[in-house]
Amino acid sequence: MAMTRKQKRLSIIGGAMLFLGLASGLTLYALGQKTSYFYMPVDLKAAAPDPGQRIRLGGLVEKGSIVRGDNTEIHFSVTDQAHSVTVAYNGILPDLFREEQGVVTEGVLRSDGIFVADSVLAKHDETYMPPEVADRLKETGMWQHADGTDEAAQ
């Protein structure tokens, strides 16, 4: 099968385009399905995510809210000073998990309003604050005039 120079080039380009097309399709699909949105407690009050939708919940660990259960279960509240959400987590918390520290948890909101987290973001540095939480807490500083219209303000 003798191929002309043009055919060789076309076959390479055609194969590459096909592959790139598949890759882009896959990527777009994955971006639609596999990304999780970031919520603060107040966002959950304003508009709850679809049931079963994975989200990230961030805020501060509320003071005095950490309750250790029978086995490895643990409950704590994540607050943005305006609202708070109870988080249920089963496992070992990261070393730097403390009251009144910034935290990002990932999981699903149950219909009874308890957030079931399967991961709690750890960090390596005690002065580090997840950027989403930091940004939103700065906004929270001016919360009085943004309350209720928060979605529009974003």
Partner 1 sequence: MIIELGHFALVLAFALALVQFVLPLMGTRLGDPRLMAVANPVTLVGFALVAVSFAALTSAYIQSDFSVVNVWENSHSAKPMLYKVTGVWGNHEGSMLLWVLILSLFGAMVALFGRNLPDTLRSNVLSIQGLVGAAFLLFILVTSNPFTRLSPAPLEGRDLNPVLQDIGLAIHPPLLYLGYVGFSVCFSFAVAALIEGRIDAAWARWVRPWTLAAWLFLTGGIAMGSYWAYYELGWGGWWFWDPVENASFLPWLSGTALLHSAIVMEKRSALKIWTLLLAILTFSLSLLGTFLVRSGVLTSVHAFATDPSRGVFILMLLILFIGGSLALFALRASSLTQGGLFHPVSREGSLVLNNLFLTTATATVLLGTLYPLLVEAVTGEKISVGAPFFNLTFIPLIVPLLIAVPFGPLLAWKRGDVYAVSQRLFAAFGGALLVALLGYFLIDGTGVLAAFGMGLAAWLMLGALTDLALKAGIGNVSLSVAWRRFRGLPRSVFGTALAHFGLGVTVLGIAAVTSLDIERVMVMRPGDTMSVAGYTLKFDTIAPQRGPNFTEDRAHFTYMDAAARVQGEIISSKRLYTARQMPTTEAGISTIWFSQLYVSIGDATSDGGIVVRVWWKPMVLLIWLGGVVMMGGGVVSLLDRRLRVGAPARRKEKAAPAGVAAR
The smaller minimum CB distance to partner 1, of residues 112 and 125, is found at 125
Nearest CB to partner 1, comparing residues 100 and 135: 135
d(CA 129, CA 136): 11
Shorter beta-carbon distance to partner 1: residue 92 or 142 = 92
Provide the minimum distance between the beta carbon of 74 and partner 1 in the complex, in angstroms, as a whole number: 8
What is the smallest separation between the CB atom of 116 and partner 1, expressed in angstroms? 16
d(CA 117, CA 109): 8
What's the full length of the chain, in residues?
A: 154
Note the residues at the interface with partner 1 (CB under 8 A): 3, 5, 8, 11-12, 15-16, 19-20, 23, 26-27, 29-31, 33-38, 56, 68, 70-72, 90-93, 95-96, 104, 106, 121-128, 130-132, 135, 154
Burial of 1 (0-12, 13-18, 19+ CB in 10 A): exposed
Long-range contacts of 46-50 (CB under 8 A, 24+ apart): 46/150, 46/151, 47/151, 48/109, 49/109
In terms of CB distance, is 11 or 149 closer to partner 1?
Answer: 11
